[in-house]
Structure 1
């Protein structure tokens, strides 16, 4: 049994240890600990000041580079699409700031915006498959007469709808190339009536090129529904539209934010066939990407298809319009050959 003397010894030991700690802390160790803490605080303060200066320098440099890009962009873009008619289609929700900046670049390039439309959710939604099938079924024979090479008995619903929208935006009157054909007007009215497209600027003239704008959220997961056809729903419907626009118009460009897995730009770049037919531009949230859009359209009209951006495998800048080699390749910004569709 532990008696009172044991408790007394324990208490004395505790107080002795406390007294020794106080003596050492206030005496020999005080200076060492204080100096060490002071040195650490001074080092952290110095690192903070250095990082603050580096951040300020980086911000200044970034601002100067942005000014250079804007100034250089004006010279690169100006007149690159002079006399060209462009139709813009929003495939999903595109940020107002980025979209307006792209439209401003098209204007600076001299392009005429002849139509601005947006796809509704009905274009990709799994629960609207019956609507799309019904509309496409009624269009098959009409579209085959317009361009039998693109549309035939084997064409899917997505291919038929993509062809219908492209014809509605690009088909010219046989007697007046500056006017839209009767078929184009009928198809446009039908797509609006069934709720597949919304119109912001009604088509005024046949387009020479189509720009598909994406905000990045293309509802790719919709195609994962159990009874959904991945080729005609969600991302499949959008990539098919891009392919149809390229086949029928001859110049189709898809532009969106910095590429990430699951977006439309990445889906096209991963498709071995589409990558040879459709140019893409990533990074439209930045001035650089916005400047590249009209240049990409101009390059595609000159026969150069490529993938533009700062991601690995992408081309930074389109070639100057018309600057092609004899073998059909173009010269990239560094002077090297950039073959059609080699941007992936």
Structure 2
């Protein structure tokens, strides 16, 4: 990720190279104009100033990270008392963010009952026929032929792993999960055999390469289906956590915020790659379970930095 620190280091390298070149030139040509010597000294002074600025910013980053981590447990305490949570990792979701979210759920008093990794084939337009065929044996209520492959997978995932009203997964839910796993559409790690009342979806980080719009659209279809399958009464809370502090272009979070009805149903967090963003993700999750939603973080179309505290 190219940031301010990157530019400082680059400038330092340029000034150092210039200073060395001037010094060598001076040593070879005693008659070099005095102004060049002056410029060389100015360049060395600039390098020193930039190095000091880089050190200052590094210390500030260290402070912010330490502060966020040490206050997280105080902010999170009791936010998800015995809440059952499923963590769904989209393709290319950073493992460190998935782990951080799971740990934050535990700190907040919740239980991660399922961890699901979605295969890249689900959103791949070239694999649409194969995905449809894999989901065809499932007779999930409400599943229709008109649905996109990604919507069908999201709808089936919701039936297999989520319920706001029931606790223990039934035999049919387990069979749906087994079918999706056997087809290679998901990879599942179940800690306990309970339904989740809250789903946290961790998405891919921001990239410098263009993202296929069809892939992003399919991702949003799956995430929206997780919320819609259960209907109004049994719909789980769904938060889409994007490790996207570098920007929203081509990201799931950016697409959700610009898409209807996803924008009014799902909650999003755009800074889940920061410790404070992980805390915000958990707070947004509690808000979702209570029947409210919002978009949080630092980037476009965010409603606020985080939900209003305390969350009741």
Q: Quick check: TM above 0.5?
A: yes
Quote how far apart the aligned CAs of 1:104 are.
Answer: 1.4
Which among 270, 285, 288 is matched to residue 282 of structure 1? 270
Gaps in structure 2 of 5+ consecutive residues:
1-28
Quote how far apart the aligned CAs of 1:159 are.
Answer: 2.7
Q: Distance in 2 between matches of 1:116 and 1:321?
A: 28
Task: Report the TM-score when normalising by structure 1.
Answer: 0.71
Q: Does residue 160 of structure 1 match 2:138?
A: no
Q: Distance in 1 between matches of 2:239 and 2:225?
A: 12
Quote how far apart the aligned CAs of 1:167 are.
Answer: 0.9
Q: Name the SS for the 2:292 alignment partner.
A: coil
Bigger Rg, structure 1 or 2 = 1
Q: Does residue 250 of structure 1 match 2:223?
A: no
RMSD of aligned Cα (Å) = 2.8
Deviations 1:234-256 (A, max 9, x none): 33322111111122233111112
Which among 181, 189, 207 is matched to residue 196 of structure 2? 207
Task: Report the TM-score when normalising by structure 2.
Answer: 0.78
Q: In 2, are the aligned partners of 1:92 and 1:217 still within 8 Å (CA)?
A: no
Quote how far apart the aligned CAs of 1:128 are.
Answer: 2.7
Q: Does residue 130 of structure 1 match 2:139?
A: no
Q: Does residue 75 of structure 1 match 2:63?
A: no
Quote how far apart the aligned CAs of 1:75 are.
Answer: 1.3
Q: Alignment length, in residue pairs?
A: 275
Q: Does residue 318 of structure 1 match 2:307?
A: yes
Q: Distance in 2 between matches of 1:66 and 1:217?
A: 20
Q: Which residue of 2 aligns with 1:332?
A: none
Q: Distance in 2 between matches of 1:69 and 1:250?
A: 28
Deviations 1:321-344 (A, max 9, x none): 534xxxxxxxxxxxxxxxxxxxxx
Quote how far apart the aligned CAs of 1:275 are.
Answer: 0.8
Q: Name the SS for the 1:66 alignment partner.
A: helix
Q: Which residue of 2 aligns with 1:226?
A: none
Gaps in structure 1 of 5+ consecutive residues:
1-24, 224-229, 324-344
Q: Which residue of 1 aligns with 2:36?
A: 37
Distance 1:62-1:121 versus aligned 2 partners, 3 A rule? closer
Q: Distance in 2 between matches of 1:191 and 1:134?
A: 11
Distance 1:157-1:54 versus aligned 2 partners, 3 A rule? closer
